[in-house]
Amino acid sequence: MAHHVLCKHCGRSIHSRQTLAVVGRTLEPLHTSCYAAYAAQQPWYRKPGRPVNYWRSLLAFNALLMLGILLLHLLVKPLTVSVGLGLRPLLVVINAWLLVARLISYWSIERHLPSSQPRGGTS
Ligand SMILES: [Zn+2]
């Protein structure tokens, strides 16, 4: 299948999932090596978040969110059980969005790429 995934930053094709970083709300494909340069070019309101094509982004995000809620609970105002339970739909919605983004990223970009760098070189 000759489907080329082009890097939004340098315009060259991305050869494997190991060098792919899918970022931003619009799920732009980038080389992992181009990611920092691309992120630095964006104005603050368009800064891409962490690449979505890694499961650990999801874990890191949840850990931060939990920490935020915990700090709020300890430092600002103790949350009652009902408020705590009220936060659950929020977590579900946010995670569902991240999962959907992950699936779109996989379907539109990642499945076209081999999971690792092809050996031997094909040029
Ligand atoms: Zn690139």
Residue 123: band (very low, low, confident or very high) from pLDDT cuts 50, 70, 90? very low
Q: Are 97 and 49 in contact, with CB atoms under 8 Å apart?
A: no
What does the pLDDT read at residue 6?
Answer: 93
**Bridge partners of residue 23, in order along the sequence:** 28
Question: Residue 10 Cα, ligand 1 centroid: separation in angstroms?
Answer: 4
Question: Residue 107 Cα, ligand 1 centroid: separation in angstroms?
Answer: 20
What does the pLDDT read at residue 25?
Answer: 76
pLDDT per residue over 25-50, tens digit each? 788 899 999 998 988 888 777 676 67
pLDDT score of 122 more than 50: no
Mean pLDDT (whole number) for 65-74? 85
Helices (H) and strands (E) in the chain, counts: 3, 2
Question: Residue 1 Cα, ligand 1 centroid: separation in angstroms?
Answer: 21
Higher pLDDT, 51 or 12: 12
- Give, as one character, the DSSP assignment of residue 30: E
User: What is the SS3 assignment for 31?
Assistant: strand
Mean pLDDT (whole number) for 4-27? 89
Question: Residue 96 Cα, ligand 1 centroid: separation in angstroms?
Answer: 29
What does the pLDDT read at residue 34?
Answer: 93
Mean pLDDT (whole number) for 88-105? 83
Question: Residue 27 Cα, ligand 1 centroid: separation in angstroms?
Answer: 15
Q: How far apart are CA 121 and CA 89, in angstroms?
A: 48
What does the pLDDT read at residue 8?
Answer: 92
What does the pLDDT read at residue 120?
Answer: 52
Q: How far apart are CA 31 and CA 118, in angstroms?
A: 16
The chain-wide mean pLDDT, for the chain, equals 80
Dig out the tokens for 109 from the structure.
């970009």
Residue 9: band (very low, low, confident or very high) from pLDDT cuts 50, 70, 90? very high
